[in-house]
Each structure stands twice: as structure tokens, then as C-alpha cells.
């Protein structure tokens, strides 16, 4: 671990602690770094914003993309106080940062009732075996948007 990595991780951890002590949400914080500087921060806002997607990493990604005026975090590093949940990990992959660093593990989170193991297990199941009822509807109609996308000259590929 470099001194710089330690400084950035300590800021993510500080955000997670402050979030709890100020009663704003769960014990999670994240920072995004570019060119050796923190460009965005995020803390869990699920309960304070009534948004189940407002995890620290997602909040930080949204803030960084707004600041950088882009939808990808090329050349950025993400530091998070806890190993990302499946949703956040997906968002992180879509944002395409260069590197990801975390402090607490998903087992540490599970020990305080933030257990995402059931999601990993559900994703691995066939649709008909998942706990969430899932049914495909109107595929042919929906494929029109995909056809239009494929033919579009105005699309921004990612």
C-alpha cells in the first residue's frame, strides 16, 4: 500500500463513519480519484433519500461523472470502505475505472446484517427458480428500439 492509497482509503472510511454518526445512512463511503486528487465523494444515502440505489459507490460514480462530464471513469480509481455489493460492482464495471480498492469485506458487511449473498445466489439461478417472479413480455415490440439503435448514426457507443 502506498501512502497515497492509504490517504484515499482513509477518506472513504471517514465518510462511512461520518454517515453513521450523522444519521444519514448506512456505514459506507467511497471516493473517486483522478490524477492523484479526489474528484468525487459518496456516502450511503439509501434511507435518507428513499433510494435503494443510492449506495456510496453509485453516489460517488454519479458525482464523478457529472464533474468530468462523461459516462466513463477512464483513468480513475475508486476507493470504497467496503467490498461492493452486486449492484455496485455492476455499476463500477459499467463506469470503467482503472482500479478498485476496498477496506471491509462482504463477510464483514454480512456480519452486521448487510448480506448480499442471496443476490449472488439468485443471479446464478434460472429465471423460473428465482424468488422474484420474472416473466418476459412483448419482446418483438421491444426489439424495435434495438433495431433503431443498431441503425442510428447519432449513437454514442460504450
Give the catalytic positions in this structure. 57
Report the C-alpha dihedral over residues 25, 31, 32, 36, rounded to 10 degrees: 170
SS3 40: strand
Q: What sections of 22-136 are H helices per DSSP?
A: 46-49, 56-68, 86-95, 106-110, 117-124
Q: For residue 95, which of 73, 77, 75 has the smallest C-alpha distance?
A: 73
Amino acid at each position: 500500500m502506498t501512502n497515497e492509497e492509504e490517504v484515499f482509503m482513509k477518506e472513504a472510511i471517514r465518510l462511512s463513519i461520518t454517515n453513521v454518526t450523522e444519521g444519514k445512512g448506512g456505514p459506507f463511503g467511497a471516493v473517486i480519484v483522478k490524477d492523484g486528487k479526489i474528484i468525487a465523494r459518496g456516502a450511503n444515502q439509501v434511507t435518507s433519500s428513499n433510494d435503494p440505489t443510492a449506495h456510496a459507490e453509485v453516489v460517488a460514480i454519479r458525482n464523478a461523472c457529472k464533474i468530468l462530464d462523461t459516462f466513463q471513469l477512464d483513468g480513475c480509481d475508486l476507493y470504497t470502505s467496503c467490498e461492493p455489493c452486486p449492484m455496485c460492482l455492476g455499476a463500477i464495471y459499467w463506469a470503467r475505472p482503472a482500479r478498485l480498492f476496498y477496506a471491509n469485506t462482504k463477510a464483514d458487511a454480512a456480519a452486521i446484517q448487510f448480506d448480499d449473498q442471496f443476490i449472488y445466489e439468485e443471479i446464478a439461478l434460472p429465471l423460473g427458480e428465482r424468488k422474484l417472479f420474472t416473466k418476459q413480455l412483448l419482446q418483438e415490440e421491444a426489439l424495435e428500439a434495438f433495431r433503431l439503435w443498431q441503425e442510428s448514426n447519432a449513437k454514442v457507443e460504450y
